[in-house]
Amino acid sequence: MTDLINEHMSKVNRTYGSNVMGFGISGKLNRIQVFLYDTSDEKIEEFKNNIYPEEEFLIFRNILELVYPKSTRDSYEEALPLWPDNYILCGSHLLNLYTNNQASLGYRVKDKNGNKGFMTAGHFVYQGRYVTNADRDTIGLCKQCYRRNIMDASYCELVDDKYELSNNIRTFAIDTLSTLSTQPIEGADIIAVGYRNSYHGKVLNHSFKFSFYDNEGRYCIYTDQVLLDFISTPGNSGGVVCYKDKDTKDLMTVGILSGNCTTEVSPVLGRTVAFCCKQNAIQAVMGVKRY
């Protein structure tokens, strides 16, 4: 059922999809929990009419009430972040008009010359190609693409001055992303945000190696990858992965989502899980730094 919701979400008008923060299966309730920003009767009907109609399998929950108790706010609007329209957020929706592929923006960086840009997945856009935002405004030009060994990442330089790259994260319930980077240990709690979904999970392995044939038939070997205990939805590749320090409360950058490591790729895992490449490796190879 979640696959059907994913499929419908990829096709639905952005007006409807923008009210959906995320969804997932609750084993305890044996239902799909759908987290909406607005759970009015009108918005629930809108979801059923345009995304998924079988209400008996769904439980709707208001993400604002989970994060901001009613006692701390007077209205739905007051709980929303007041981001300027020209802000490009971590986890934002990206389009590649050459391939019609979709992905997510990770976080903002500067290259060694001080140019501002952002990170996304390497398999999403190659060097010399442009990417757009969800409104199809061209916002980035890929200057570096690296798809081997320790990363699947592309650096895109910002090309439209009217836009401002932000350290705010698309899922407003999460704090601003710190410019600090970290490599969490196995068992650490992490947060990942793409344009399709956000995830809360744990690190299964902080330095994993595997090999596979990609969609273009190339034999690829990846090393020093971080395995995460969830399955990433298509379109979330390139999204930000972060760790909240328990003492300082800083939301530190771990890296960007690359995709899923399947049981066919690594039978030893016994299941499909997501993986990400590390910001520390991206900085060392590409020469880009968080700011």
Q: Please calculate the CA angle 106-245-210 and round it to the nearest 5 degrees.
A: 55
- Closest by Cα among 50, 136, 153 to 96: 136
Return all residues near 70 (Cβ < 8 A) that are at least 6 apart. Answer: none
Alpha helices, DSSP H only, in 38-187? Answer: 41-50, 63-67, 76-79
pLDDT value of residue 209:
87
Strand partners, 150: none
How confident is the model at residue 45, as a pLDDT? 86
Q: Which two tokens stand for residue 131?
A: 């990417």
Q: Backbone dihedral region of 33: left (phi > 0), alpha (psi from -120 to 50 degrees) or beta?
A: beta
pLDDT (tens place) for every residue of the chain, 291 residues total: 455 555 555 555 555 566 776 666 665 666 777 777 778 888 888 878 877 677 666 777 776 555 444 444 444 444 445 567 788 999 999 999 999 999 999 999 999 999 999 999 999 999 999 999 999 999 999 999 998 889 999 999 999 999 999 998 987 555 689 999 999 899 999 999 999 888 888 999 999 988 777 667 777 788 999 999 988 988 999 999 999 888 888 899 999 999 888 766 666 667 888 999 999 999 999 999 999
**Domain over 87-167 is classified CATH 2.40.10.10:** yes
> Nearest CA to 144 among 166, 173, 112, 122?
122
Rounded Cα distance, 98 and 102, in Å:
11
Neighbours of 178 (CB within 10 A): 19
In 3D space, the residue among 233, 240, 41, 232 whose CA is nearest the CA of residue 49 turns out to be 41
Measured on CA atoms in the order 248, 253, 257, 263, is the torsion positive or negative? negative
Return the domain boundaries, the chain. 2-79, 87-167, 176-279
The reported pLDDT for the residue numbered 291 is 95
Q: Residue 215 — φ and ψ, nearest 5°?
A: -65, -20
In Å, how far are 8, 37, 39, 50, 235 from 16, measured between CA atoms? Answer: 11, 11, 12, 7, 17
Specify burial of residue 229 (Cβ count, 10 A radius: 0-12, 13-18, 19+). middle
In total, the chain counts a number of residues equal to: 291
CATH class (in words) of the domain with range 2-79: alpha beta
Query: What's the topology of domain 176-279?
Result: Thrombin, subunit H (2.40.10)
Which pLDDT value is given to residue 67? 47
pLDDT of 187: 92
d(CA 119, CA 59) in angstroms, rounded, equals 35
* CB neighbour class for 197 (10 Å; exposed up to 12, middle 13-18, buried from 19): buried
Structure tokens at 105: 């923006």
Domains 87-167 and 176-279 share a fold: yes
